[in-house]
Amino acid sequence: MLNLPTETTALRSKLTEAESIATVDRIQFCLVSTSFTSELILTSYVCDDNHKIDSTTPILLLHGFDSSLLEFRRLIPKLALSHQTWAMDLFGFGLTERLANGQVSPESIKEHLYYFWKTAIAKPIVLVGASMGGAAAIDFALTYPEVVQKLVLIGSAGIRKGTAAGKFLVPPLDRIATDFLRSPKVRREVSLKAYADPKFVTADAEVCASLHLAMPRWSDALISFTKSGGYGSFAKQLQHLQQETLILWGDRDRILGTKDAVKFQSAIPNNKLIWIEQSGHVPHLERPTITAREILKFI
């Protein structure tokens, strides 16, 4: 069993779906060194390398806002049939360690991601980002084009301008905001909006979406990221993307809508847009077989 907070471990015992249990039980940790802190960052990840596929390009999956690698629990086994598949928790999120004085921002997320890649993978990758993870993937691909061989964006953020509201999130409003986000009722409402089909909002899914809430300094990291301004628009930079890019979008996305998909298609030089039918904001959870098939076909 992982050395996790008691509340997190207790939640893990409530998982009922085989893919959820298998993903949690495969979580590993490595120490990542960065320039923005003298501390080593204990970083959580999974790697499905049972098949020892060394000749293929590894796939690295990046999760969305206030989420974790568990959102790829249904996608990983399908991708791993032919490619070594990694998923990691970004700095400030998931089960990755949150530092007492570590500012969580797009820049620190990008640097931590680079050094995780350098420590654990160290070869060119196919980078897959979902929602906020898509914005992180775009930022990373623009900065480290030699690392990212191909890019996949799933219901991606990064085309709209950010908001400056976070800079005015002062105490006690910051704690009130995170307490609101921690509410099971609020999290359930977000989940119901993220899926096209409400039947996917199961008790198991709600546990998966809440495992990281018990991590030390969860509120601090979320507040820090929000105050940094988070990810803004890469609209002007997208023309400089060197990688062939696959855009996957749920045709019933109620979180970001569907217009952003077309904007990405217009802005990225070498891309292909695929609509995932009867899917909301998380096609990798609602339609994992189709999503995996399109990613592997693209690769």
User: Could you confirm whether 63 is annotated as catalytic?
Assistant: no
- Could you confirm whether 281 is annotated as catalytic? yes
How many Cα atoms are found within 13 Å in the side-chain-facing hemisphere of 168?
Answer: 3
Q: Label the pairing between strands 85-88 and 41-48.
A: antiparallel
Q: What is the DSSP string of 66-109?
A: T--GGGGTTTHHHHTTTS-EEEEPPTTSTTSPPPTTPPP-HHHH
Q: Are 264 and 247 in contact (CB under 8 A)?
A: yes
89, 220, 253, 260: the active-site residue: 253
Return the number of other C-beta atoms located less than 10 Å from residue 224's C-beta.
21
- Give the integer Cα–Cα distance in Å for 225 and 219: 10
| Token pair belonging to 271 | 């891309």
Q: How many CA atoms lie within 13 A of 263 on its CB side?
A: 16
C-alpha angle 255-260-262 in degrees, rounded to nearest 5? 140
Catalytic-role residue among 20, 67, 131, 224: 131
Q: Give me the catalytic one of 63, 83, 281, 284.
A: 281
Q: Which are the catalytic amino acids?
A: 131, 253, 281
